[in-house]
Amino acid sequence: MILLASGSASRRAMLEAAGVSFEVEPPRVDEEGAKASLRAEGVEARGLADALAELKAIAVSRRRPGRVVIGSDSVLALADGETLDKPADRATAAEQLRRMRGARHRLVSAAVAARDGMAVWRAIDVATLHVRAFSDAFLDEYLDAEWPAIAACVGCFRIETRGVQLFDRIEGSHFTVLGMPLLPLLGWLREVGEVAR
């Protein structure tokens, strides 16, 4: 049985819905420190998502030898290339959403599989988010309904709830938007015999 090195409810829900047997083991890594260091080195959204997914997978893999561990991460890059963090409070969420309003942004989701402390597989996918020019009234109503649930969400939205109303259009895989490139992951899990072919 695989291990999921993530506390994300949406990633758990995706694997459960796909019928994959797994256990959750939080990675217990300094994700914020790693992210700050990577940004200081000039690592952009794609590399950031990949490195954080690998960090999580390897951290759990070292503690659980012989097991396949899946780490995953998502990074939202604004139109200007700046990457956003999960909002610390409602005011930060409001500011991030205002910055996203009426523009196109990229959501990068990565998954990395590790075994015995080594990365053995990875996939990275990108979705393009076309955020509509929503009103301040909508923003207030949205935050009244969705805060604090969106505090754990990069981009301040849950696409499976009211967050879908933030967008005019989304290009790319629904699973990538939910936080993990699921179809490539399922293909690899079948290939290595972790799920039935």
Look at the block and give the residue holding tokens 């909002």.
Answer: 87
Look at the block and give the residue holding tokens 């949205």.
Answer: 142
Give the integer Cα–Cα distance in Å for 76 and 83.
6
Candidates 30, 50, 73, 136; catalytic one: 73
73 flagged as catalytic: yes
Q: What is the DSSP string of the chain?
A: -EEE----HHHHHHHHHTT--EEE------HHHHHHHHHHTT--HHHHHHHHHHHHHHHHHHHSTT--EEEEEEEEE-TTSPEEPPPSSHHHHHHHHHHHTTSEEEEEEEEEEEETTEEEEEEEEEEEEEE----HHHHHHHHHHHTTGGGGSTTS--TTTGGGGGEEEEES-HHHHHTS-HHHHHHHHHHTTSS--
Enumerate the active-site residues: 73
